[in-house]
Amino acid sequence: MKHEMTRDVQREVIALDVNGERRELLLPVHKTLLEVLREDMQLTGTKHGCELGECGTCTVLVDGRPELSCLVLPIQVAGRAITTIEGLAAGAKLHPLQQAFAELGAAQCGYCTPGILLSAKSLLETNARPSRDEIREALAGNLCRCTGYTKILEAVELAAGRMT
Amino acid sequence: MSTNGKFAVIGKPLPRVDAVAKVTGRAVYADDMLLPRTLHCRILRSPHPHARIVSIDTSAARRMPGVQAVITGADLPIKFGILPVTQDERALEHEKVRYVGDPIAAVAATDEEIAAAACDAIAVEFEVLEPVMSIDEGLAAPKDERIQDYGGPNNIHKLVALEFGDVEGGFARADHVREDVFFFQGSTHLPMEQHSAIATYVDGRVTLWSSTQVVHYVHRALAKVLEMPMNRIRVIGAAHGGGFGGKTDPFAHEIIVSKLAMMTGRPVKCTLTREEVFYAHRGRHPVLMWVRTGVTRDGRITAMHFRSALDGGAYGSYGVASTFYTGALQTVTYDIPAYRFEGCRVFTNKPPCGPKRGHGTPQPRFALEVHLEKIAHELGIDPVDLKQGNFVKPMTRTVNWLRVTSCGLDECTERVMSASGYRKREKRSGHGMGFAISSYLSGAGTAIYWNDMPHSEVQIKVDRGGVTAYCGAMEIGQGSDSVLAAIVAEELGLQPPDVRLVTADTDTTPIDLGSYSSRVTFMAGNAAIEAARKMRAMLVEAAASKMACDPTAVEVGGGRIGDFSFEEVSILAEARFGTLTSAGSYTPPKIAGPYKGAGVGPSPAYSYSACVVDLDADARTGLVHVNRIWIAHDVGRAINPLLVQGQVEGSVYMGLGEALMEEQAFRKGLHKWPSMLEYKSPTFLDMPDVETFIVETVDPEGPYGAKEAGQGPLLPVPPAVSCAVYDALGVWIDEVPITPEKIVEGLRRKAKGEPARFGPPRFPAIPYPPPIKVEPPSKDLDRAAPAAI
């Protein structure tokens, strides 16, 4: 695909509510939420793996529901509550999911981990004690190449047990 | 180790030392870095699989606002490559392109979109050549011209032929001889992190942060191509988002951003797109294999002849080593008294293949295990019994001179047999179980380039109670930082979080050759033990002096040395000795055999695995559902069982992906599915429960007896799946991946009365040279080791 060499880029001031902090940003309207989080807000905990909505690595929560930030434009989520991995811990205290992932070795290279943690958080908010198959179903959109998924399943179960 | 001989850290399932950084998103990967004034780089790549470059016109790109620099091959003409014998790559090609994706020109611009648009504005005139797209085409005379100007005949890159012992005599002694042909399709690493690199040029020095597995080899390639001394170049491994072998070559983009930083005086960054990652590749070679084995009536192997043909892609990469590896490790699991290996790698107009987890050995392992399974069926012997009857014994030499020390094959086999109930399995159509074993290196025994220096070095500094360990080893997610911290902590009576790590930085850390060939725990681990014991001796001496006792009476452990806290002792010792530093290094024993090519295969120790796969296979649709996998892995000693389990489970996962779905396949030079959606890999829903057993054989040379865990457990999975499909449906799938289409076709042939098999029909005629005949060593390890051990 040929890239446009020059074009007039439309920009808008968009207010984003990320991890409870509101920021107004002047953004090209075509820039994805993933790019804005990483490049304009320095929230690099959100990773990219494909930029095509295939791997789940860039998952963030919008009003508590997982969204692929590479497929979302900021204007779609202006004013809604966005949670990234940086907003998962309460200050220096890890979220129970983070704690369980750390304890059980559920993160190896760690690149898919932020997205998986956020998908898992959303799951546990709607289903406090999911079965292993329900966890598999909820996380099926998040690929991981290191762990073979086993330790991730165990960590979600451990966290769910501790949270209820 | 504490004075009473018990471990305080080793063997404990402790969290990784970088766990919190990773679960909070604070680990900084190369693409997370954005230094002030960073320019963004994009690379123009070849749209043709094979073409001569007639001209390159960059003038329009250079005129575009925001473009700061444009370079072509004329700016980086020096060739490089990971192996000294195949320096065949350029960072940018200006004469000829050899695969779709071969880099031609690069742009640095103020933003990425401008850089991409400028690449589009570069006009390249090509003279398109006929592409060579398969092993058969590579063996035949080229229609236009050869891909590379070395090797041959035709597009053959490398031919090897070795013979150990009396092969003809062995076949003559056999009661039964069988031949089979197998094919193992190529696959790619698919790391979640796309390759990324960012370079600066300040005060005449280049600094490069990269998502590499091997800072040292990148360092060497940069020095060569940039024509700068290594002391002017610093390579730092950023937090690493997965490699699996795919980030073990020096890459064009790493050289390009360095050059562009030198030209512009600004930081330059390049992150490959996902599509580019598929074309960067260096993954699993597609390999066609032919194997002939002679056995006695009771299943003892008398001779084996193994042939391989590797589809190498367009460049050398690790290919010469990969070729040897397809023939090296057969003997490390089975006692083969006479063995002939003939290997061949051909160049094709596809992305270069290289090392992927198991490097060159999963393909022959698949062939060997399924082949022996077939022999067992023909002889009416239980396949597990036949294999077990041929297992190598500990402390022996193989016919091709490989030194086997600890070997837990029997125990691994018993563990998966009893847990899975394989021997008592219910026989019903559509349900099957399969068994296979494997082995892998704990680090290659020889370096990639010939030298006598250590393969790994560790320095330790103690200062006001703080401990810092420095090592060139690269943490790629496998847990090498955690292993180093555990070892240093164990020796100094501390816990891993007490040890600060500085790793993978060519300016500040002593050398480690990198994270490939499962070498880090073994080699950096041994170096760390040496360094830590020297430090411990100084601390103990200082404590003993103050306590007015003999050093042997000083207890180390629980954060204390003798009567003092660690911090107090560090002050006493610094007052006594000055700056507290120590160093340790590891050089593998010289154990290679006395023949050309003997450098590939030797390792200071081999890990062993055994695996059982339980699956349901549908005869109507060919669909396979894996119910459960049991895997036992002889890791020597688990320094951290949590990390070992993670490596084993991850290996099983990757092996299952290759067994059932993953395929790096091409159509007219283009990758068929260069996206994460279409390149099928197992998701949470595809992955069965895996039951892992850690077997500890305590290797005599491993750190605390440890061996590798990150690659070996992948290998038995594809053959175990194939054997399980046969168990379920009575059809042999002699080809990986084992897809529903192949199963259905195999069953259709069976129904027509043809052999119940899907696989390659034949092995091509290859002009192997006459084999180099090598006298085998004595099996007895002590008598067999001439100048070695």
Q: How many CB atoms lie within 10 A of CB B765?
A: 7
For range B119-136, the mean pLDDT: 98
- Smallest CA-to-CA distance from A145 within B657, B518, B187, B27 is with B657
Q: How high is the pLDDT of residue B1?
A: 53
Contact at 8 Å (CB) between B138 and B347?
yes
Where would I find the H helices in B456-502? Answer: 480-492
Contact list, B504 vs chain A (CB under 8 Å) = none
| pLDDT confidence band for B788 (50 / 70 / 90) | very low
Q: Is the pLDDT of residue B475 over 50?
A: yes
Contact list, A112 vs chain B (CB under 8 Å) = 192
Q: How high is the pLDDT of residue B789?
A: 34
Contact list, B13 vs chain A (CB under 8 Å) = 105
Q: Which two tokens stand for residue B416?
A: 């998966």
> Identical fold at B37-129+192-242+247-280 and B453-586?
no
Parallel, antiparallel or unpaired: strands B301-311 and B287-295: antiparallel
**Phi, psi angles (nearest 5°) of residue B220:** -65, -45
Where would I find the H helices in A57-149? Answer: 96-104, 113-126, 132-139
Q: Is the pLDDT of residue B229 over 50?
A: yes
Q: Is the pLDDT of residue B787 over 50?
A: no
Strands, DSSP E only, in A21-96?
21-28, 59-62, 65-68, 81-83
Q: How high is the pLDDT of residue B786?
A: 40
Strands, DSSP E only, in B229-366?
233-237, 268-271, 287-295, 301-311, 339-346
A107/B16 Cβ within 8 A: yes
Q: Which two tokens stand for residue B585?
A: 């290094």
Q: Is the pLDDT of residue B784 over 60?
A: no
Mutate to test the interface with A, among B647, B683, B684 (most CBs of A within 10 A): B684
Which of B273, B477, B690 is facing A110, going by the closest CB pair? B477
Q: How far apart are CA B421 and CA B42, in angstroms?
A: 55
Distances (CA, A) of B92 to A80, B79, B100, B229, B527: 46, 10, 13, 21, 38
Contact list, B642 vs chain A (CB under 8 Å) = 104-105
The CATH architecture of the domain made up of B287-446+593-774 is 2-Layer Sandwich (3.30)
Q: How high is the pLDDT of residue B426?
A: 87
Q: How far apart are CA A43 and CA A65, in angstroms?
A: 19
Q: How high is the pLDDT of residue A7?
A: 63
Residue B112 to chain A, least CA–CA distance (Å)? 11
Parallel, antiparallel or unpaired: strands B268-271 and B396-397: unpaired
Q: Is the pLDDT of residue B382 over 80?
A: yes
Contact list, B47 vs chain A (CB under 8 Å) = none
Distances (CA, A) of B261 to A21, B115, B138, B556, B653: 36, 15, 39, 50, 40
Give per-residue pLDDT as tens, B546-566.
999 999 999 999 999 999 999
Give per-residue pLDDT as tens, B240-280.
999 999 999 999 999 999 999 999 999 999 999 999 999 99
Residue A100 to chain B, least CA–CA distance (Å)? 10
Quote the ipTM score.
0.97
Mutate to test the interface with A, among B67, B187, B192, B631 (most CBs of A within 10 A): B192
Give per-residue pLDDT as tens, B421-446.
999 998 899 999 999 999 999 999 99
- pTM for this one? 0.97
Give per-residue pLDDT as tens, B687-696.
999 999 999 9
Q: How far apart are CA A54 and CA A73, in angstroms?
A: 17
The rounded mean pLDDT for chain B is 97
A109/B240 Cβ within 8 A: yes
A136/B690 Cβ within 8 A: no
Which of A54, A104, A136 is facing B676, going by the closest CB pair? A54
- 3 state DSSP class of B665: coil
For range B220-247, the mean pLDDT: 98
**How is chain B split into domains, by residue range?**
37-129+192-242+247-280, 287-446+593-774, 453-586
Q: Which residues contact B317 (CB under 8 A, 6 or more apart)?
A: B81, B82, B83, B86, B249, B282, B352, B353, B354, B355
For range B612-625, the mean pLDDT: 98
Query: Which domains, ranges and CATH numbers included, belong to chain A?
Result: 11-87 (3.10.20.30), 96-163 (1.10.150.120)
User: Which residues of chain A carry a pLDDT beneath 70?
Assistant: 1-7
Measured at the alpha carbon of residue B585, what is the angle toward residues B542 and B360, in degrees to the nearest 5? Answer: 150
Which of A4, A5, A151 is facing B646, going by the closest CB pair? A151
Residue B366 to chain A, least CA–CA distance (Å)? 21
- Starting at the edge strand found earlier in the chain, the sheet holding B103-109 runs B67-72, B103-109, B39-45, B268-271, B196-202, B205-210, B233-237
Q: How far apart are CA B673 and CA B665, in angstroms?
A: 8
Q: Is the pLDDT of residue B734 over 60?
A: yes
Q: How far apart are CA B603 and CA B442, in angstroms?
A: 6
Q: How high is the pLDDT of residue A3?
A: 53
B479/A3 Cβ within 8 A: no
Q: How high is the pLDDT of residue B678?
A: 94
The CATH architecture of the domain made up of B453-586 is 2-Layer Sandwich (3.30)
Task: State the fold for domain B37-129+192-242+247-280.
Answer: Aldehyde Oxidoreductase; domain 3 (3.90.1170)
Which of B32, B683, B685 is facing A44, going by the closest CB pair? B32
A94/B23 Cβ within 8 A: yes
Q: Which residues contact B774 (CB under 8 A, 6 or more apart)?
A: B162, B163, B164, B400, B401, B593, B594, B595
Q: Looking at this protein, which amino acid is placed at residue B728? A: A
Give per-residue pLDDT as tens, A50-73.
989 999 999 999 999 999 999 999
Q: Which residues contact B130 (CB under 8 A, 6 or more apart)?
A: B50, B142, B143, B144
